[in-house]
Amino acid sequence: MPLSANNPDRKSWLHVDKNSDFPIQNIPFGVFLTRDDIVTIGTRIGDTAIDLGALHQLGYFSGIPLTDDIFLQDTLNDFIADGRKTWRSVRNRIAEIFDSNNKTLKENKSHKEIVLFRLDEIEMQLPVQIGDYTDFYSSIEHATNVGSMFRGPENALLPNWLHLPIAYHGRSSSIIPSGIPVHRPQGQTLPNGAELPVFGPSELVDFELEMAFITTVANDLGEPIPVNEVEEYIFGLVLLNDWSARDIQKWEYVPLGPFLAKNFASSISPWIVTLDALEPYRVESPKPIKPQLEYLQYKGKKSYDINLEVAIRPSGAKETVVSKSNFKYMYWNMSQQLAHHTINGCPVNSGDMMGSGTISGPTPDSYGSLLELTWKGEKPLKMKDGSERTFINDNDTVIMRGFCEKDGTRIGFGEVSTKLLPVFKRK
Amino acid sequence: MPLSANNPDRKSWLHVDKNSDFPIQNIPFGVFLTRDDIVTIGTRIGDTAIDLGALHQLGYFSGIPLTDDIFLQDTLNDFIADGRKTWRSVRNRIAEIFDSNNKTLKENKSHKEIVLFRLDEIEMQLPVQIGDYTDFYSSIEHATNVGSMFRGPENALLPNWLHLPIAYHGRSSSIIPSGIPVHRPQGQTLPNGAELPVFGPSELVDFELEMAFITTVANDLGEPIPVNEVEEYIFGLVLLNDWSARDIQKWEYVPLGPFLAKNFASSISPWIVTLDALEPYRVESPKPIKPQLEYLQYKGKKSYDINLEVAIRPSGAKETVVSKSNFKYMYWNMSQQLAHHTINGCPVNSGDMMGSGTISGPTPDSYGSLLELTWKGEKPLKMKDGSERTFINDNDTVIMRGFCEKDGTRIGFGEVSTKLLPVFKRK
């Protein structure tokens, strides 16, 4: 199945701004509520949202084997379960429908009225029902920074880190789409020098700059996925802000890992950009520092050149960009992550989400968390409004963005933007 | 709403063996495949399975607000989401229908043919679609045993353990009902004294004797559940075998906790015994050793006296009981666990599952894992067939059972029975 949707020379009859993340070469998938309060699966070109449920009902996907209600759903899980051949066919067809040379929909006013929406007419939803959420820890810079802070630079990386992509399970129920605010979590912390823990609001709320991939049904219980077959099972990627409460984390995480420090919220961007759309941006992963076991040895380029940035917008003020990083810094790539995750036979389903872990780059301005950017709060960051940040303040909004760019084509993820509200009060 | 279903004097017109786990006072809920390959929600009295979907269609639940298809589903999630008042009404009605003094169904042969099944005519399924699975670590004996092995008896309990119910997130996709076999997992381990990890089958496959509770929709994002309200949101309990690969665990678990060592499989008993049915067996939890923060302080008896046992059945031989424990040993009870889990605002949904952690008792024959029973493999267990076990052999079946008994009434969980197959081979 050719990736004709990726044709860089194609233009759309829909308007696309020069710096848009969503040219006709992107064609991401998402779920939105329309002006008529109907939930549908859709895509986006420029600033126009496209109702795929309506397009399908009008016959625009004829010839592609799809059930009648595949896009009239409140999650993408069933569509993702249809597999890569179907995703490609649908994406190629969408590219044809909106090609500037195709007049079928372009000149059908009544169809366009049903199918097209302005962004201010829709409300983006969580794109998938996430069955299981796994979060990796695959940036060597991040692991080294955090390890240095807590164990000193000579013991920064633990002995297992260079041999396997460390991961833990996260909480699916608190994954939210961009735009949903989050309350500052409360919990137990052990103040410095104290003997007994205290209860109260976390004082060290942090973001973690991550990306996450969404899978399709991949394997049965017991059956590993070979490393070079993994990409068959990856539908696409989103931006992920893995909210973290550092003071809660420090007290709770030994010996079973982070729990309440993480599961109060994880925010994702609402448009899933397909792995197919990212094809032109493949790059090599960092060279392994130590030999890797055979089940982790892959062929070819398995990473992607995705520019990432984080901004903080204080209440009523302009945003300040506080970090610029790149997905390509990841020491362990997605193929290795999923091969490792399933080597013991753990089953992977449609709509599972796998976070990268915080993506820090090699320089201090590319670190992916405030913990690292402010070095445990020792070096506050200056905001444009003159204020300083060591961790996130009440009513700050954290915004993450990501895009690829090459030969004049830009494929982006839009943003994940989340406001931190004060502690929840019972009415 | 009175718990009339718990009336200890009630007899059923269905036959119930004297030592059955399923007298008319139990009325658990499960999902099964019938002889006609139809999935339905059902209950069980003695050795008779009862199709609640058929009973409902025949009008036996008239007067209780239930949707027409509430029992014609392949999971209990929607029924559980209906809330405690509905569960109680349905359970009370089932007790009336099968009361020995009630002739309505008893004397309706055509209805009985549709509604009643022998156990060998049905196949039990996973009772819920588990959205999120959390595993606690709430037995002080287990935490002390494991801590003593790895850090010495003086440092057995970590500083946080007596202050909060430690927990981590598990994997939902590999939760399976009793009867589904599991392959021995493969993975990375670091042999004693080696510098580099090796790949191969786990040599230290273990069970963990646990129970787990299933929740209903409890809270919105951001909103904690007060400790004394938690039981409103617990539907019922199952037995849980939290399979563990100790050699994989030891190498991978620092710093983010167990991952592949656990997520290859977790087995549960298929009948959910309601918290209501366990009401007569309430007991006090162990006295706190250290003061607990206010959000963890509860009123009344929040634990349950549930006898537990584990047996190993070697291939072709008789089983040997290797442990007898009790749910009441749990230092942290379910009310504290869920209050803690949500204190940061983490949302809990219908069908979420919360494991207790390994339930070890105070004596060596009550330990809940082979790691403890054989003290890291140093003290092998004798099987009835003359063989010895330090960890689980290929083709061994591990069986866990649990029941309450008081004043002549026994409420049980049946069993969770799982065979360990050799390593998976690709065809």
Q: Are residues B163 and B66 in the same domain?
A: no
pLDDT single digits (tens) A328-342: 999 999 999 999 999
CATH number for position B169 = 3.90.850.10
Contact by Cβ (8 Å): B39, B75: no
Q: Are residues A147 and A275 in the same domain?
A: yes
Average pLDDT over residues B276-298: 98
CATH number for position A62 = 2.30.30.230
Compute, in degrees rounded to 10, the torsion defined by CA atoms B189, B194, B198, B204.
-30
CA distance B170 to chain A (A): 6
Q: Are residues B105 and B138 in the same domain?
A: no
CA distance A340 to chain B (A): 8
Q: Are residues A70 and A158 in the same domain?
A: no
At B151, the pLDDT band (50, 70, 90 cuts) reads confident
CA distance A261 to chain B (A): 8
Fill in the DSSP letter of residue B142: H
Q: Are residues B11 and B41 in the same domain?
A: yes
Write out the two tokens for B385: 């067939």
> Considering A142, A169, A183, A341, which one is annotated as catalytic?
A142
Q: Are residues B72 and B98 in the same domain?
A: yes
Q: Is A300 part of a structural domain of the chain?
A: yes
Q: Is A229 part of a structural domain of the chain?
A: yes
Closest chain A residue by Cα to residue B225: A426
At B110, the pLDDT band (50, 70, 90 cuts) reads very high
Please judge whether B345 and A185 are an interchain contact, meaning their C-beta atoms are less than 8 angstroms apart: yes
Please judge whether A256 and B168 are an interchain contact, meaning their C-beta atoms are less than 8 angstroms apart: yes
Please judge whether A344 and B248 are an interchain contact, meaning their C-beta atoms are less than 8 angstroms apart: yes
Provide the pLDDT for residue B155: 87
Provide the pLDDT for residue A155: 87
Residues of B marked as catalytic: 142
Residue B1 has pLDDT above 80, yes or no: no
Least CB–CB distance from A186: residue in B174, B255, B344: B344
Least CB–CB distance from B256: residue in A167, A196, A343: A167
Provide the pLDDT for residue A106: 98
Average pLDDT over residues B224-228: 98
Residue B299 parent element (H or E): none
pLDDT single digits (tens) A233-283: 999 999 999 999 999 999 999 999 999 999 999 999 999 999 999 999 999
Contact by Cβ (8 Å): A209, A369: yes
User: Whole domain around residue B278: which residue ranges?
Assistant: 133-421
At B137, the pLDDT band (50, 70, 90 cuts) reads very high
Contact by Cβ (8 Å): A188, B290: no
Which residues on chain B are in Cβ contact (under 8 Å) with A186? Answer: 224, 343-345
Picking from A124, A153, A182, the residue at the C-terminal end of a domain is A124
Burial class for A68, CB neighbours closer than 10 Å (0-12, 13-18, 19+) = exposed
Provide the pLDDT for residue A151: 84
Average pLDDT over residues B99-118: 98
Picking from A124, A158, A181, the residue at the C-terminal end of a domain is A124
Least CB–CB distance from B345: residue in A134, A158, A424: A424
pLDDT single digits (tens) A203-215: 999 999 999 999 9
Q: Is A216 part of a structural domain of the chain?
A: yes
Q: Is A427 part of a structural domain of the chain?
A: no
Q: Are residues B214 and B307 in the same domain?
A: yes
Least CB–CB distance from B348: residue in A173, A176, A248: A173
Q: Is B185 part of a structural domain of the chain?
A: yes
Kindly provide the ipTM of the predicted complex, given to two decimals.
0.97
Q: Are residues B332 and B397 in the same domain?
A: yes
Please judge whether A190 and B295 are an interchain contact, meaning their C-beta atoms are less than 8 angstroms apart: no
Rounded to whole angstroms, how far apart are CA atoms A72 and A51? 9
At B427, the pLDDT band (50, 70, 90 cuts) reads confident
Q: Is B291 part of a structural domain of the chain?
A: yes
Contact by Cβ (8 Å): A235, A421: no
At A125, the pLDDT band (50, 70, 90 cuts) reads very high
Q: Which amino acid is at B165?
A: P
Residue B209 parent element (H or E): strand B209-215
Q: Are residues A86 and A182 in the same domain?
A: no
Q: Are residues B242 and B326 in the same domain?
A: yes
Which residues on chain A are in Cβ contact (under 8 Å) with B343? Answer: 186-187, 260
Provide the pLDDT for residue B150: 82
Domain count, chain B: 2
Q: Is A426 part of a structural domain of the chain?
A: no
How, if at all, do strands B282-283 and B244-245 pair?
unpaired
Please judge whether A158 and B255 are an interchain contact, meaning their C-beta atoms are less than 8 angstroms apart: yes
Helix, strand or coil for residue B371? helix
Which residues on chain B are in Cβ contact (under 8 Å) with A159? Answer: 190
Q: Is A190 part of a structural domain of the chain?
A: yes
Provide the pLDDT for residue A41: 98
Whether A142 is a known active-site residue: answer yes
Q: Are residues B41 and B186 in the same domain?
A: no
Residue carrying the six token digits 């209780």: B64
Average pLDDT over residues B331-337: 98
Residue A426 has pLDDT above 90, yes or no: no
Give percent of chain B with pLDDT exceeding 90: 97
pLDDT single digits (tens) B314-331: 999 999 999 999 999 999
Q: Are residues A414 and A269 in the same domain?
A: yes
Rounded to whole angstroms, how far apart are CA atoms A285 and A142? 16
CB neighbour list of residue B217: distance below 8 Å, 6 or more residues apart: B81, B233, B348, B349, B350
Closest chain B residue by Cα to residue A188: B164
Which residues on chain B are in Cβ contact (under 8 Å) with A197? Answer: 160, 163-164, 293
Please judge whether B345 and A221 are an interchain contact, meaning their C-beta atoms are less than 8 angstroms apart: no
Provide the pLDDT for residue B322: 98
At B426, the pLDDT band (50, 70, 90 cuts) reads confident
Provide the pLDDT for residue B201: 98
Write out the two tokens for A28: 């991401």
Picking from B89, B124, B159, the residue at the C-terminal end of a domain is B124
